[in-house]
Chain A
């Protein structure tokens, strides 16, 4: 855990308490059982926004607290631990795009609403099942945006889409010319393909050539923070289980073969946490953010992949049951791995940035 200041510790403790008491995994199960494509609890999100979480990165003049990404990551990590379904990450990332690229008018129009929870927003970048921001066909002509976006997270609840077109990022409000097709994935959260057919679009004119890359850096670190919370809980839950489960008249945790596997996972988790926190801090400081964000997401992918598989295996048969939570983490993990870059994509980009 990074060394935190007092505000950050309070924020984390508050998020931990709320997630544990008000939004345990049973809450996600209720959302899942409802079958609603929106896949989150509006009242719960309202509470989160009231606590200031939707505005953590947003400047104070626009109704946020301007605490930055390390702070946002602390909250997202705690919510990841209990699989809390919400558009918090999506909205935060859309807000960051407006902060980086928006005009004063666009900021004044949207940021206060996003911070207060009155509006929900999401990023729509990729057009297929793989993250590939270099291959965008969506185009804009005369203020009308046309194209299709694939597997957009939190699309059902969104009032506003930050859409990547060939020549930059655009704001598109839900409504005419925006058609959603639900894509129900294994994590049973909100995902949809979106057909934009001449939808009214407003360009984010500022932010320069790197605007999309800068937003993707933020997407990577914040997604990695959710994955960190998940990996931590899978590890903790598995360790607890090994200490309780008795076979051969011994608790499983007394078997050295299992001890050494847990020691490996402990070391992996330490690496993941270091990488994720360094990524969040790099986005805040602006120093080396692109590389740090790649390291954060790549390590999150690697470690959560292993952790979620080992979690199932070490739980044995009970880990295969729907009643047990561990499988929910496995399914969410696999959906988050390709988000904003599967490991192969990230390694390629890391090498390119490194000049090889």
Chain B
């Protein structure tokens, strides 16, 4: 098989594994074991414990929070194979990657592709060290699925742009240091009038209002820009190139979102939950045959989704470009995530619908919030309907009415 390693490659993989294992043993604070990435990544360093800080700094210094990014900008410079080994070793040690957020998932890869040398030098290293939190200024009240309809205006004032308008669904906007935004620099052309701009969130004229969602949390904000001055050097690419760059970023977003449907991950497998909350036969099988059938049905489709996600990565790597099945990952993964969350609360009965209180376990409460929040996954990052349009037009070549 082509995927099997040659002896030399296997030896160098073993050497790297030992290096990773040693680093984790030296630097990972044992008190964080099994805790995973808390909200510290998004909510910022104000809530960071000393142990979390030391782990973030250790990983950031090594560049291993962004393992495959170039070393010259603070990344780890690792091969994909080494990055996979690092993941395995982190998991083995009960550790986690403390460097995350939109800077890592979306903005960094895009800036590495389209940014000027000066922009990369300025913005990438702080992302690798987990020091700067980025938010996404894309959607507007009248620009959701029709994103190119955005109206936030960046007016050319010689050495700077003057930005006026409103963004919405700004994830983590209340905690962000900076915003990557698509704005209008030309009203005469819907797509070519869009530019990609980097805005400091502490600039005068930026106002952020968290939006309370059905889940009771406020992960998204409205962001208002009133006469905000943005230096010209914060333009990424050329004026008018924003739609192209912005869409590229969405590809990174969709790949990252596909497996990220939250809700109900806690509490073990659906079968474990069903055993805990329902009746079990003497032989250990679930007493409800219909539920048992539905769980197996779900798990089979979930297994083939995991195979599909893995195949998309392998194919993209082998082809040196994005595999066409990547376009299906977001709609598949988010739908399955929602289905799982629905089944979780159903299996728990009313015990699985608690809003608050000591008479619900944390897993139960998180299940409810996650189920509700998970409804966003098929809407944001390009709704399922938009994904269907993308698949039909770009992959299948089905063109609109002529």
Residues of A within 8 A of B (CB): 1-6, 239, 242-243, 250-251, 253-254, 256, 258-260, 262-264, 266-267, 270-275, 277-278, 291, 294-295, 298-299, 302, 344, 346-348, 350-352, 354-356
Residue on B nearest A350 in the bound complex, by CB? B296
| B301 cross-chain contacts in A, Cβ below 8 A | 271, 299, 302
Q: Mark B1-23, 1 if CB is under 8 A from A, else 0.
A: 11100000000000000000000
Task: Please state if B275 and A263 are interface contacts (CB–CB under 8 Å).
Answer: no
- The CA of A250 and the CA of B400, in the complex, are separated in Å by 9
**Quick one: which of B269, B303, B318, B396 has the most chain A CB within 10 A?**
B303
- The CA of A61 and the CA of B147, in the complex, are separated in Å by 63
- The CA of A340 and the CA of B9, in the complex, are separated in Å by 41
- The CA of A272 and the CA of B269, in the complex, are separated in Å by 23
| B401 cross-chain contacts in A, Cβ below 8 A | 250, 254
11 CB < 8 A contacts A-B: A250-B402, A254-B401, A259-B389, A266-B396, A267-B391, A274-B311, A275-B307, A294-B300, A295-B300, A351-B296, A354-B271
Q: A1-B315, A259-B389, A263-B396 are in contact. Are A351 and B2 (CB under 8 A)?
A: no
Task: Please state if A277 and B296 are interface contacts (CB–CB under 8 Å).
Answer: no
| B307 cross-chain contacts in A, Cβ below 8 A | 274-275, 277-278, 295
Q: Mark B287-323, 1 if CB is under 8 A from A, else 0.
A: 0000011011101110111011011001101100000
How far apart are A343's CB and chain B's nearest CB, in angstroms?
8
- The CA of A277 and the CA of B312, in the complex, are separated in Å by 13
Q: A243-B397, A351-B285, A352-B285 are in contact. Are A260 and B297 (CB under 8 A)?
A: no
CB of B387 closer than 8 Å to a CB of A:
yes
How far apart are B330's CB and chain A's nearest CB, in angstroms?
10
CB of B79 closer than 8 Å to a CB of A:
no
Task: Please state if A3 and B2 are interface contacts (CB–CB under 8 Å).
Answer: yes
| B332 cross-chain contacts in A, Cβ below 8 A | 267, 270-271
- The CA of A269 and the CA of B392, in the complex, are separated in Å by 14
Residues of B within 8 A of A (CB): 1-3, 269, 271, 274-275, 284-286, 292-293, 295-297, 299-301, 303-305, 307-308, 310-311, 314-315, 317-318, 325, 328, 331-332, 385, 387-389, 391-393, 395-402
**Quick one: which of A3, A270, A294, A351 has the most chain B CB within 10 A?**
A270
- Tell which of B311, B328, B385 touches A267, judged by Cβ atoms closer than 8 Å: B328
| B328 cross-chain contacts in A, Cβ below 8 A | 263, 266-267, 270
Task: Please state if B295 and A259 are interface contacts (CB–CB under 8 Å).
Answer: no
Q: A4-B2, A348-B293, A351-B296 are in contact. Are A270 and B308 (CB under 8 A)?
A: yes
- Tell which of B296, B315, B396 touches A239, judged by Cβ atoms closer than 8 Å: B396
| A273 cross-chain contacts in B, Cβ below 8 A | 311
- The CA of A273 and the CA of B328, in the complex, are separated in Å by 13
| A258 cross-chain contacts in B, Cβ below 8 A | 398
Residue on B nearest A291 in the bound complex, by CB? B303
- The CA of A253 and the CA of B398, in the complex, are separated in Å by 5
Report the 4 A-B pairs with minimum CB-CB distance, sorted nearest first.
Answer: A259-B392, A275-B304, A274-B307, A356-B271
How far apart are A261's CB and chain B's nearest CB, in angstroms?
9
| B275 cross-chain contacts in A, Cβ below 8 A | 356
**Quick one: which of A3, A250, A355 has the most chain B CB within 10 A?**
A3
Task: Please state if B2 and A5 are interface contacts (CB–CB under 8 Å).
Answer: yes
| A352 cross-chain contacts in B, Cβ below 8 A | 285
* Extra pairs beyond A264-B388, A267-B391 (9, CB < 8 Å): A250-B402, A253-B398, A262-B391, A291-B303, A299-B304, A344-B293, A347-B296, A350-B296, A351-B292
- The CA of A267 and the CA of B330, in the complex, are separated in Å by 10
